[in-house]
Amino acid sequence: MSTASFLENASRTEILDVSGSGKIPFERIIEADRPVIVRGVGRQWPIVKAGLDGPHVAMDYLAQFYSDRPLVLYSLAPEAEGQPFYDETVTAMNFQRSQVSLEAFFSAVKQTFGQPNPPGYYVQSTDQKLFFPGFEAENGIDLSPLAPFAKAPPVVSLWFGGKTTARAHYDMSHNIAVCLVGRRRFILFPPDQVHNLYPGPLAPTPGGQVISMVDIHNPDLDAHPKFEVAAQAAQIADLEPGDMLMYPALWWHQVEARDPFNILLNYWWNAVPAYADSPMNTLLHGLLSLRDRPASEKAAWREMFDYYVFGDAGQAGAHLPAAARGPLGEMDEMMARRLRAEVLRKLNR
């Protein structure tokens, strides 16, 4: 499979244009449960306008909000071609981490301008309010009044750097990504393609999440033959400065920063109460407790999970008196504390 044929055959993500009305139909997009591009969301934001005047202008604009906290800089050698990944042993990374000031980061990125094969530099998932207080007053979306975000306010982060690629990975949160400076390409795969994307080790990982071992633009189909199936399900979302992309939790996405300097703003959120535990903890414990059991037992436990977890939330306790339901009844913060304590007690046996 060539890069050209893969990109030609991939479908394009649905696009909405709100540049006229300025109103984003968040509830309709969330209900659709698939990726959607919204054009023109941030077209009038100062950071977007600054970026259109050039990377130096965008850097100067961002710098005025900087709180002087050290940033974590990820540095890649030129041979990595801007792609954080593993070394040849797949037990260590191909990049270095260091703490730097914003000025030092900008200086490093500026030195790459015009180089045919430059080193890669990027800063990921930086708390916007902590590192750039006041930035959100002029740039961003106020999601707090909107019903879908009332229970769990989003985590707001800035990502910036040179021409780099984050390999296909998934997040456990829903995502709103706004391209501020430079162009971005997202290559997206629905969650059911996990079987065909050849996930890498659970740890270590380049950025905290499991990544695909497939080089999407140069796939080795001898090593990863099922990627051809994933490629047929892929979507491509190309973002210009000011464009927004929304996509649901657990969608795999490769993120390609396509210009010498790029800034992305993102909002992560989950429509669950704060006391809810991470499903990844359940998956890890499943590896310990379920994976290596006989096939017949695993099939039986799959039925148990369908009944207690993946089916209707009220079915397992519906036939019991309310006072007897315990964690089979309605979950609240107190019940979550009790259940967590019981799980910890059993794990520490």
Spatial distance between the Cα atoms of 108 and 115, rounded to a whole number of angstroms: 12
Contact 167, 211 (CB under 8 A): yes
pLDDT computed for residue 283 by the predictor: 94
165 has pLDDT over 90: yes
User: What DSSP string runs through 223-286?
Assistant: T-TTHHHHHHH-EEEEE-TT-EEEE-TT-EEEEEE-SSSEEEEEEEE-SS-TTPPPHHHHHHHH
Q: How far is CA 186 from CA 20, 107, 146, 148, 271, in A?
A: 25, 27, 26, 24, 23
pLDDT in tens, 43-62: 999 999 999 999 999 999 99
* % of the chain exceeding 90 in pLDDT: 83
pTM: 0.94
Give the pLDDT score at 188.
97
Which class for 176: exposed (0-12), middle (13-18), buried (19 or more C-beta within 10 A)?
buried
Which domains does the chain show, CATH number per domain? 3-269 (2.60.120.10), 279-347 (no CATH)
Task: Considering only residues 303 and 18, tell me which one the structure prediction assigns the higher pLDDT.
Answer: 303
Residue 24's pLDDT band, with cuts at 50, 70 and 90, is confident
Position 3 pLDDT exceeds 60: no
Predicted local distance difference test score (pLDDT) of residue 19: 66
Binned at pLDDT 50, 70 and 90, residue 292 comes out as very high
What is the pLDDT at residue 187? 97
Q: Which residue has better confidence, 276 or 171?
A: 171
What is the model's pLDDT at position 272?
Answer: 85
Confidence band, pLDDT 50/70/90 cuts, at residue 150: confident
| 83-87, 145-149, 214-218, range with the lowest pLDDT | 145-149
Tokens of 138: 């002029």
pLDDT at residue 4, rounded to an integer = 57
Output the pLDDT for position 21. Answer: 65
Q: How far apart are CA 277 and CA 333, in angstroms?
A: 11
pLDDT mean over 109-118? 95
Coil, strand or helix at 154: coil
Q: What is the mean pLDDT of the chain?
A: 93
Range 73-78 average pLDDT = 97
Q: Is the pLDDT of residue 67 over 90?
A: yes
Q: Where is mean pLDDT largest: 16-30, 145-159, 299-313?
A: 299-313
Provide the pLDDT for residue 271: 82
